[in-house]
A and B are shown apart, each in its own frame.
Chain A
């Protein structure tokens, strides 16, 4: 009898403590964490090697992979000029003379400039344009009759963002 009474007291203590815990009111504090808002392309912080750049460039322009011999000689050509912006400008200028280049026509671009801009961002920069970028590009295309898909491709291909990943 004494034993069962002891168990009863212990059980009551446990139930009592549980009920006290259960009855504690949850207090939730809401706060605002500091968050740095980075540009959409901020994760591209590594420069491509000349092999990576040429490989991606060639694929973007011709929609096929560059052959190993062409890759090797293109790397040598690039290495032979100290200012890499000038070297890549000349390389892209050379590729723009290639009849196998895969390039939208001017008519296609002007028929649907938004699709052209979105596709160009996706092709070269692997992302969609921001609203501000889209607006700027559409305004630029629509306000300048001399702008061609080739010149836009050239600019994207030789931009700093295209050189990074």
Chain B
């Protein structure tokens, strides 16, 4: 065999191997599936609209309040020295009555930007910079410009793509919302006729489930025996449902199996016990809602080890009226993300096998509104048409992700807010199937294809 023929034949074998279908864990097989890059993905929607100036640009007060103090208040995620003056983003110094004077200790010795790849200038390229638009775009990869607020996304969410094309079960996919406001409970599946509730992800708003409403109506719910009492309930209910078999008329469930439903009920029961015993997993500093939501997200991770968990944070949005509180919550969101990454590495099934993605749902205005806080610092909204609201970043970290890499710059933005859904599909090996459906925004593509 001559050399040219050998290379040609070897190339055919290698090409055939690369093109051969990957059999998904569910047994589904397709020519367009490929081996997953990781077994788990955690996607953080960060965290109510953050300005580039106080995040990746690390301008602290210099980019907003005309004060010459710069520095990095997100040192778990980003590389860079913290501010050395006018510290107002940390914990309150109660003894000396100074708000935010004590910065929170870093959790990660190596910032995530050094462990992974940072896209510092991503664009929220279409539509108004509203929270629902941002969250919906994040989970669906489509801006849905005509979407109303109290409606499910019109395009499939990543939960539906994964359940339908990768064969994931319901408890493999979770959306942990910081609360039930802003139509968050509608983001776990779309209205698309080919997808929808049949492929929806599980949703949990833990601060409500385990807060006052849940304590009143869920806590200490009766513990029926799974093999005797529940069996009777299943049989009688099955008979009743069989006699009410009009298509589609059912309590809107998510096709969790009986075993999955049992696991969810037990998770709720177990978590209430932890709440009562003050034994929840929480970040070292947990003095806002976002950090508590992250603690509950870790509880979900520990219990279910899901393939995909999306958690959204929103306390940064106080920036509409209080810039100091905004700085504190940006600092805390970074603390929460660092804690989340540390806890993922403490779960044996997820350690070194999880890719985490962090992306703000949108930015905020360049110019302030007239509202001043106790420090006389001005607040910022997120207004339709303001170009600064379109400036966001994306951070990807985990196995197979190149470390210490920055892709793009202010003069050369790389990435779009609609990229995350195809990126997650790429990680789980179903990118081509998702693209072929033609339901993503035209600008959307896997971040791995942008490197």
Q: Which residues does A use to contact B, with CB under 8 Å?
A: 39, 41-42, 44-45, 47, 70, 73-74, 76-86, 88-91, 93-94, 96-97, 133, 136, 140, 144, 146-147, 151-152, 154-156, 158-161, 163-164
Q: How far is A136 from B236 in the complex, measured between Cα atoms in Å?
A: 10
B6 CB–A CB distance under 8 Å: no
> If the complex has contacts A77-B213, A151-B236, are A44 and B253 also in contact, measured as CB distance less than 8 A?
no
Q: How far is A164 from B248 in the complex, measured between Cα atoms in Å?
A: 11
- A94 contacts B221, C-beta separation under 8 Å: yes
- B265 contacts A80, C-beta separation under 8 Å: no
Chain A binder among B114-122, B200-208, B305-313? B200-208
A73-B213, A151-B236 given; 14 more Cβ-contact pairs under 8 Å: A39-B246, A44-B249, A70-B217, A73-B217, A77-B208, A80-B204, A80-B205, A82-B203, A83-B203, A85-B253, A86-B264, A86-B265, A94-B220, A160-B240
Q: Which of B171-203 contact A (CB under 8 A)?
A: 175, 180, 185, 188, 200-203
- B217 contacts A91, C-beta separation under 8 Å: yes
- B251 contacts A85, C-beta separation under 8 Å: yes
Q: How far is A74 from B216 in the complex, measured between Cα atoms in Å?
A: 8
> If the complex has contacts A82-B175, A97-B222, are A76 and B250 also in contact, measured as CB distance less than 8 A?
no
B212 CB–A CB distance under 8 Å: yes
Q: Which of B202, B222, B251, B261 gathers most chain A CB within 10 Å?
A: B251
Which B residue's beta carbon lies closest to that of A132?
B243
- B170 contacts A83, C-beta separation under 8 Å: yes
Question: In the assembled complex, which residues on chain A have CB atoms less than 8 Å from the CB atom of B202?
Answer: 82-83
Q: How far is A159 from B253 in the complex, measured between Cα atoms in Å?
A: 12
- B185 contacts A79, C-beta separation under 8 Å: yes
Chain B nearest CB: distance from A96 CB in Å? 5
- A159 contacts B208, C-beta separation under 8 Å: no
Chain A nearest CB: distance from B172 CB in Å? 14
Contact of A155 among B208, B228, B240, B250 (CB under 8 A): B240
Q: Which of B212, B246, B256 gathers most chain A CB within 10 Å?
A: B246
B448 CB–A CB distance under 8 Å: no
> If the complex has contacts A93-B224, A94-B217, A146-B232, are A156 and B209 also in contact, measured as CB distance less than 8 A?
no
- What are 5 sample pairs from A and B whose C-beta atoms fall under 8 A apart? A77-B214, A86-B253, A97-B221, A155-B237, A156-B236
- A80 contacts B249, C-beta separation under 8 Å: no
Q: How far is A154 from B208 in the complex, measured between Cα atoms in Å?
A: 24
Q: How far is A77 from B185 in the complex, measured between Cα atoms in Å?
A: 12
Contact of A82 among B216, B249, B254 (CB under 8 A): B254
- A151 contacts B232, C-beta separation under 8 Å: yes
Q: How far is A70 from B212 in the complex, measured between Cα atoms in Å?
A: 11
Total number of residue pairs linking A and B with CB closer than 8 Å = 150
- A94 contacts B240, C-beta separation under 8 Å: no
Question: In the assembled complex, which residues on chain B have CB atoms less than 8 Å from the CB atom of A147?
Answer: 232, 236
Question: In the assembled complex, which residues on chain B have CB atoms less than 8 Å from the CB atom of A42?
Answer: 246
- A133 contacts B180, C-beta separation under 8 Å: no
- B213 contacts A39, C-beta separation under 8 Å: no
- A77 contacts B256, C-beta separation under 8 Å: no
> If the complex has contacts A81-B203, A84-B251, are A94 and B218 also in contact, measured as CB distance less than 8 A?
yes
Q: How far is A89 from B264 in the complex, measured between Cα atoms in Å?
A: 11
B219 CB–A CB distance under 8 Å: yes
- B221 contacts A136, C-beta separation under 8 Å: no
- B243 contacts A41, C-beta separation under 8 Å: yes
Question: In the assembled complex, which residues on chain A have CB atoms less than 8 Å from the CB atom of B170?
Answer: 83
- B253 contacts A83, C-beta separation under 8 Å: yes
B19 CB–A CB distance under 8 Å: no
Q: How far is A44 from B241 in the complex, measured between Cα atoms in Å?
A: 13
> If the complex has contacts A79-B180, A82-B204, A97-B220, are A39 and B214 also in contact, measured as CB distance less than 8 A?
no
- B254 contacts A83, C-beta separation under 8 Å: yes
- B217 contacts A146, C-beta separation under 8 Å: no
Q: How far is A107 from B37 in the complex, measured between Cα atoms in Å?
A: 60
Question: In the assembled complex, which residues on chain A have CB atoms less than 8 Å from the CB atom of B239?
Answer: 136, 140
Question: In the assembled complex, which residues on chain A have CB atoms less than 8 Å from the CB atom of B217?
Answer: 70, 73-74, 77-78, 91, 94
- B216 contacts A158, C-beta separation under 8 Å: no
Q: How far is A69 from B237 in the complex, measured between Cα atoms in Å?
A: 30
Q: How far is A163 from B253 in the complex, measured between Cα atoms in Å?
A: 12
Chain A nearest CB: distance from B186 CB in Å? 10
Q: How far is A88 from B250 in the complex, measured between Cα atoms in Å?
A: 13
Question: In the assembled complex, which residues on chain B have CB atoms less than 8 Å from the CB atom of A88?
Answer: 251
Q: How far is A76 from B185 in the complex, measured between Cα atoms in Å?
A: 11
